[in-house]
A and B are shown apart, each in its own frame.
Chain A
Amino acid sequence: MKSCKDVEIICTKVQYKEASFLEKIKIKLHVLFCKTCKTFSKKNTELTTLCSQANIKTLPIEEKEKMKTELKSRT
């Protein structure tokens, strides 16, 4: 029997397609009778959808480091 916390972490792994087959079975069984985890799983999937939908762009780490040194040299 997996605790809800464990299931939630597996659910997060599922979002990145990194859960093992056994883990997926465990989560499927748990979700059958645990409403809290079912809602969590739904929301978690929705968060993944929102993140890909938003198409967020970030600056590469090297660029940020460059900016930091530039800024420091001017302060």
Chain B
Amino acid sequence: MKRQTGMTKQELNPDIWVDNYSDYLFNYAVSRVSDSEIAKDLVQETFFAGLKSAKNFKGEAAERTWLISILKRKVIDHYRKINSKKAKSMVRITQNQNSEADSNFLEEQVADPMSLLENSQIENEELGMAIQECIAKLPKKHALAFTLKTINGLSTEEVCKELDINPSNLWVILHRARTVLMDCLNNNWFKI
């Protein structure tokens, strides 16, 4: 049986894309291409592609999910592009001269499968996405204050100037924002 009742159809609203999703998309892109300039271009291209294919949006997914799916394709295209510039279908294997291994077997030079380093990198990326999802739920002014102060590390004075508020207002806003974020992250990330 299809669950159709109570489902509201999602609509696209390009005017709010940059404010609501650009950081989320940027973070996703930068963790995949490791270059902020390229990541920025990919986000911009995603928005343009979103506008172009807006008529194909069926309203089944949330706006952000839909944009992320476009960005995923953009990231893949980016890697295709840089790969096609290199020699095609050629695998280059460089013997690591400085390797501590005594033999020349390549098998001995692969990454340690028991290493936790990659896992923690993936976990941190997921954590970043979770925090951003929670930030997106905050009122716009609270989200901006929190991002500027916590993530961009701006001084109190600069944030106050940017938002046109006084310091005691800022502390109340930050306190509220943090309380909401703590609740939002509570189930998944807090160890307390």
A binds B: yes
Q: Is the CB of B124 within 8 A of A55?
A: yes
Shortest Cβ distance from A43 into B: residue: B182
Question: At the interface with chain A, which of B18-26, B57-65, B70-78, B105-113?
Answer: B18-26
Check if A21 is an interface residue, CB within 8 A of chain B.
no
Q: Is the CB of B178 within 8 A of A46?
A: no
Shortest Cβ distance from A61 into B: residue: B162
Task: Give Cα distance in the complex from A65 to B135, angstroms.
Answer: 20
Contacts of A54 in B (CB 8 A): 124-125, 127-128, 131
Q: Is the CB of A59 within 8 A of B190?
A: no
Chain A interface helix/strand/loop/mixed: helix
User: Within A22-75, which residues are at the interface with B (CB < 8 Å)?
Assistant: 39, 42-44, 46-48, 50-51, 53-59, 61, 63-64, 67-68, 70-71, 74-75
Q: Count of B residues near A, CB < 8 Å?
A: 43
Check if B83 is an interface residue, CB within 8 A of chain A.
no
Q: Is the CB of B26 within 8 A of A57?
A: yes
Contacts of A75 in B (CB 8 A): 14, 51
Given A42-B192, A71-B18, A75-B14, A59:B40 Cβ within 8 A: yes
Which residues of A pack against B, CB within 8 Å?
A: 8-9, 12-13, 15-16, 18, 39, 42-44, 46-48, 50-51, 53-59, 61, 63-64, 67-68, 70-71, 74-75
